[in-house]
Amino acid sequence: MNHRAHPHNTSMTTPPPHLYGRWRHDPFLTVGTVIAKMWWPIWRPLAPLRPTEADDGVTTVRLIGREVVAEDENVVALTFAAPDGGLLARWHPGAHLDLLLPSGRMREYSLCGDPADRNTYRIAVRRIPDGGGGSIEVHDALRVGDLVSIKGPRNAFPLAVPGHGSPAQSLRFVAAGIGITPILPMLAAADRFGLDWSMIYTGRTSESIPFQQELARYGDKVTIWTDDRHGLPTMEDLLGPVDPETGRAPSGLAVYCCGPVPMLERLRTHLGDRPDIELHYERFSPPPVENGVPFTVTLASTGQEIPVAADQTALAAILKVLPSVPYSCQQGFCGTCKVRTLAGEPDHRDNILTEPERAEGMFLTCVSRSAGGNVTVDL
C-alpha cells in the first residue's frame, strides 16, 4: 500500500465484517501447513493474525535498492536493510512500515517483499503530484545508501488462512494500481500453501500498473484489467465467476481488497447481505465523514479558531493552517495525529485510544470530532 493518507492509504476505520472468521479443522491444510513451514519458516501458527499494536520504537535502516516497477515510471520499489547486516523484525502479509522522511513527514507504506526474508524490507511508492508531499520526497530525495528511520512493522490488514482462522474455502484478491502492494505477499502465501485463489488487478492503463512482470509467474490466476481497454469492471468481474446455481458470488469466499473508496463501497454494498462471504479491505484514501456536524477547533498556542465543515476532518482543517502537523494513516488507527484536548468534549471515532487516554483528553484529529461546539487542542 502506498502511504495511508494520500492516495494510497491502508484503511479500516472499523474492522470489516467477518474479518477473522472462525477456526475450522482442515486435514488437507494441516498437512499443507507442515510443508509450507519448510518453505516459509516465519509463518508460525496459522491462527488468525490480529492487527498488532503500534510499535513506538524507531529503527534505522539503509536504502540498498531502488527500482522503477511501472512502465509510466511513476512507481519505485525501495529495498531496505539493517546497516549492520543484522536480521530485521518479522512481519506477515498485509503489514506496513511507518517511514520517517528527512523533512519530518511520516508516511505508511505496505511491505511488498517476502516475509521469509529477514534481511530486507521492500515497499513501493507511487508519485502523487498533488498529494501531501511524501511520495514526491521519496521519489526525489531518497537515494541508495541513505539511512532512513522507520517504525513497525505493524499489521492492520492480516491474511486469515482458510482452514486456520477463516472458514472460507477460497480467496479472491482485488487490487487497484498501487493497492497491489499489501496483496503481493498474500499471493505468495496463498500459492505456497496451495490454496484456491484468484485475483483481478485493475488500473487506468497497462503502463500505470506496477509489478506486472512479477505477477506473470501466477499465470491465469491473475487477471489484469485496465480501464482504457475494458472499461470499469463490473461486480462479477471483481468477484470472479458466479455460482451457476445461484448466479451470485459463491459461498465460502474471502475477498481481500485494496483500492479506492468507490470500489470498496461497491463491494461493501454488494456483499452487505452475504454473511457467507468475508470482506477484508484497505483503502487508498481516508473514508468519507459520516454523520458529520460542523464544529470549531481552537489552537491553544495562538487562540486561532479553525472551522471544520460537516464533511471535513479536523486534521484536514488544521493542515491548512499548520501544514507541518504530523499525520499518517488518516483513518484512526496509527496514532500519529494524536493531540490533547484542553477544552470541549471529543466525539471519539478512532480504533486505538484506550479509555485512560481518552480520559486524559487525547484526540485523533484524522477521524474524531467534537461532540458539540468548540474543541481546544494543544497545538
Which residue's entry shows cell 481552537? 298
**Residues with Cβ within 8 Å of residue 317, at least 6 apart in sequence:** 297, 306, 307, 308, 309
For residue 301, is pLDDT > 60?
yes
> What is the domain class of 295-377 according to CATH?
alpha beta
Domain ranges of the chain: 1-285, 295-377
Task: Tell me the average pLDDT across 63-81.
Answer: 96
For residue 11, is pLDDT > 70?
no
Is residue 111 within 8 Å of residue 282, measured between CB atoms? no
Which residue's entry shows cell 465523514? 289
pLDDT tens digits for range 132-185: 788 999 999 999 999 999 998 989 899 988 877 788 999 999 999 999 999 999
pLDDT tens digits for range 25-41: 333 333 333 333 333 43
Is residue 347 within 8 Å of residue 371, measured between CB atoms? yes
Whole-angstrom distance, CA of residue 93 vs CA of residue 104: 27
Most confident of 54-63, 163-172, 261-270: 261-270
pLDDT in the model for residue 92:
96
Bridge partners (DSSP) of residue 108 are: 98
Most confident of 36-45, 298-307, 313-322: 298-307
Greatest alpha-carbon pair distance for the chain in Å reads: 66
Q: Which three cell numbers stand for residue 147?
A: 539511512
The alpha carbons of the chain give a radius of gyration, in whole angstroms, of: 21
- Same fold for the pair 1-285 and 295-377: no
The upper half-sphere exposure of residue 143, i.e. CA atoms within 13 Å in the direction of its Cβ, equals: 1
pLDDT tens digits for range 13-27: 333 333 333 223 333
SS3 state at 54: coil
**Residues with Cβ within 8 Å of residue 169, at least 6 apart in sequence:** 162, 196, 252, 253
pLDDT tens digits for range 330-379: 877 778 889 999 999 999 988 788 899 999 999 999 899 998 889 999 99
Q: pLDDT band for position 56 (50/70/90)? A: low
pLDDT in the model for residue 124:
98
Average pLDDT score over the chain: 83
Whole-angstrom distance, CA of residue 163 vs CA of residue 29: 7
pLDDT tens digits for range 353-366: 889 999 999 999 98
Strands (E), the chain: 58-68, 75-81, 95-100, 106-110, 120-126, 147-155, 161-162, 165-166, 170-176, 197-203, 222-226, 253-259, 278-283, 295-299, 305-308, 338-343, 346-347, 362-364, 369-370, 374-377
pLDDT in the model for residue 118:
95
pLDDT in the model for residue 282:
84
pLDDT in the model for residue 372:
84
For residue 114, is pLDDT > 90?
yes
pLDDT in the model for residue 35:
33
For residue 54, is pLDDT > 80?
no
Task: Tell me the average pLDDT across 66-75.
Answer: 95
For residue 64, is pLDDT > 80?
yes
Q: Tell whether domain 1-285 is in CATH 1.10.10.10.
A: no
